[in-house]
């Protein structure tokens, strides 16, 4: 069994598209929606779509940890609510999790943004290079990991930001694998904040985290 764990907060429209895209999955694969207190109908939509709904303290790290705690495993796929898998993803995931050599490894997807702007292609190239060169995929690229390895690493920490970077650094580059398929992620944040400003802000926050600035302080800067 695979548990697909999705943290949510007031993202009903995005979540509907994502759940529709995830509908073509093996029947035994469950979806766990860890909601952080939505007021827009997100929880009702999740339950209507057949997902298991849990509530968790607001914050992606806390919600991911709560989702993993509730999941039935033995494999987890952590996934964002505004991200869509591409055709053929199920077979690639099955191939990865059926390989016993991967029990203490993890995998991620290539990043693709759902916008034709040439700046989106630049961001994709940089993000996928960062993941391959430094072993630093972000959460919008998904994370496929066994329950055993997840528990061994101590799981997601309840920090307000950089929970994805914190996790993949504990995994390490040598145990991370890029799946040959894409996670198509909403470009809304880049259109809203700017195709240059948003990546620079993300990079600045990453550098702060890597040099040891507390996540709470980074979150205040990020906001």
Would you list the DSSP string of 1-16?
-EEEEEEESS-HHHHH
CA nearest 164: which of 181, 183, 180? 183
What domain range is 14 assigned to?
Answer: 2-188
Question: What is the tens place of the pLDDT at every residue in 29-40?
Answer: 999 999 999 999
Rounded Cα–Cα distance for residues 89 and 183 (Å) = 9
Hey, is 29 helix, strand or coil?
coil
Residue 155 lies in a domain: yes
Question: What is the tens place of the pLDDT at every residue in 97-142?
Answer: 999 999 999 999 999 999 999 999 999 999 999 999 999 999 999 9
Structurally, the chain folds into a number of domains equal to: 1
Residue 218 lies in a domain: no
Q: Where are the alpha helices (DSSP H) in the chain?
A: 12-22, 42-48, 60-70, 89-97, 118-134, 147-153, 163-171, 188-193, 197-210, 215-222
CATH number of the structural domain spanning residue 163: 3.90.550.10
Residue 78 lies in a domain: yes
Q: In 10 A of CB 129, how many CB atoms?
A: 10
Residue 100 lies in a domain: yes
What pLDDT sits at residue 73?
85
Residue 63 lies in a domain: yes
Give, as one character, the DSSP assignment of residue 86: P
Residue 208 lies in a domain: no
Residues comprising the chain, all counted:
223
**In the structure encoding, which two tokens stand for residue 44, read together?**
């009702």
Q: What is the pTM of this model?
A: 0.96
Residue 223 lies in a domain: no
Averages of pLDDT over each 10 residues, the chain, 223 residues: 97 96 94 97 96 95 97 96 96 97 98 97 97 97 98 96 97 98 96 94 95 94 85
Residue 131 lies in a domain: yes
């Amino acid at each position: 069994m695979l548990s697909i764990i999705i943290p949510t907060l007031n993202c009903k429209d995005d979540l509907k598209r994502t759940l529709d895209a995830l509908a073509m999955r093996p029947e035994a694969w469950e979806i766990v929606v860890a909601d952080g207190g939505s007021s827009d109908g997100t929880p009702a939509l999740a339950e209507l779509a057949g997902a298991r709904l849990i509530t968790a303290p607001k914050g992606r790290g806390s919600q991911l940890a709560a989702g993993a705690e509730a999941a039935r495993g033995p494999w987890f796929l952590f996934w964002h609510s505004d991200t869509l898998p591409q055709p053929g993803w199920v077979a690639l995931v099955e191939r990865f999790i059926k390989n016993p050599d991967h029990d203490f490894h993890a995998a991620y997807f290539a990043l693709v943004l759902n916008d034709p702007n040439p700046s989106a292609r630049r961001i994709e190239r940089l993000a996928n290079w960062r993941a391959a060169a430094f072993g630093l995929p972000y959460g919008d690229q998904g994370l496929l990991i066994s329950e055993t390895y997840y528990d061994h690493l101590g799981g997601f920490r309840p920090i307000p930001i950089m929970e994805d970077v914190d996790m993949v650094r504990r995994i390490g580059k040598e145990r991370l694998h890029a799946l040959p398929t894409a996670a198509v992620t909403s470009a809304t944040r880049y259109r809203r904040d700017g195709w240059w400003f948003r990546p620079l802000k993300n990079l600045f926050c990453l550098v702060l985290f890597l040099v040891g600035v507390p996540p709470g302080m980074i979150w205040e800067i990020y906001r």
